[in-house]
Structure 1
């Protein structure tokens, strides 16, 4: 029996270089123009691609901005400082630094506001930003458990809910302080937040 060869894919494959150029151009436009004046035509010109290239990849401006901002949060790294308190403090300070960038501040606030009436956009924010950054919580908790700072959790569903709550507390506090209250996130504030969080987790440190 003759083996069947896989059917050839139709259409031109996406270019990672083009995607990166488009997202970089989007962030540059956010800095110079802000969300309200940003257009896909301007982004296409800056990236050196046809406007149709953007529409093949993104449904509209909101989705494009979400993906452009998501790249910034992918820069977050969990410090391996030897203590959970210091790890939390380090991530909080990194997060606040990213939020202070004009492209992150204007882009994130705009798409979050738009998502209040767009369920698909809210889901894109969750998948592209929130879910991707929950890795930091899982990594930090695993290290802390290995060091004996946090108890092991035998129930996977409970552990998952705890991870979600930790992320919500940290992200919510930092976003509110930087983007809503307009207050600085300095070392002392980050340290206090870490202490509050650890007391709730029942840390032994």
Structure 2
């Protein structure tokens, strides 16, 4: 597949934060940075809210006003890292996918991402509330990249357009879920479970496989 020249990049809308009393962005960033640093050094079991507060140089009451528990705090510390992911227009769907796969793998290679993600996923196997928070704060938020890439590919004529009826909207949602699961699942498994490199060659082979199935999936939906 040949790519056309990418168009001008548009600024990515950041996910909206919580509503209510304005908070100090500087304090939030310091707390989340301290949480990830503590996880790398101490691990989930030894991490405490008091340790995070001391590292961030904030009062423990400041911490609890923002996060009710360690679970909530660690998930948000992970989520803000994944908000760094972007999907610049590289000219065609193949290059868009390869680019985000490599960007995702580079993020997972960072010690703070790897440690925090593995910790919350492990804990969520016995904690439904934590699993739901991971889904809303990380998974559902990052599906924005699939929605953006899919809409861009539809405008280029690389994927069929959605119909404007409720059935078409449901089919589009199913496609977004499946695409996200396949990409995230494959990259996380290779990088964090198998411990194999996610390099340009692997990303190209994976994208070829994905695109072969994606055409069938979109036609089926």
Q: Deviations over 1:150-194 (max 9, x none)?
A: 111210110011001000000000011111111110001111111
State the superposition RMSD in angstroms.
Answer: 1.6
Aligned to 2:26: 17
Deviates more, 1:62-71 or 1:83-92: 62-71
2:191 to 175, 178, 181: 178
Structure 1 contact 44–54 (Cα < 8 Å) conserved: yes
Aligned to 1:48: 57
Aligned to 2:151: 142
Q: Deviations over 1:121-148 (max 9, x none)?
A: 1111011111111010011011111111
Task: Tell me the TM-score normalised to structure 1 length.
Answer: 0.89
2:169 to 156, 162, 172: 156
Secondary structure of the residue aligned to 1:76 is coil
In structure 2, what is the Cα distance between the partners aligned to 1:174 and 1:36?
Answer: 26
In structure 2, what is the Cα distance between the partners aligned to 1:201 and 1:97?
Answer: 24
Secondary structure of the residue aligned to 2:121 is helix
In structure 2, what is the Cα distance between the partners aligned to 1:59 and 1:85?
Answer: 42
In structure 2, what is the Cα distance between the partners aligned to 1:113 and 1:55?
Answer: 23
Structure 1 gaps, min length 5: 1-10
Structure 2 contact 40–116 (Cα < 8 Å) conserved: no
1:133 to 133, 142, 147: 142
1:66 to 75, 78, 83: 75
- Cα offset, 1:14, TM superposition: 3.0
Matched, 1:57 2:70: no
In structure 1, what is the Cα distance between the partners aligned to 2:191 and 2:128?
Answer: 25
Secondary structure of the residue aligned to 1:202 is helix
In structure 2, what is the Cα distance between the partners aligned to 1:199 and 1:131?
Answer: 25
Aligned to 1:192: 205
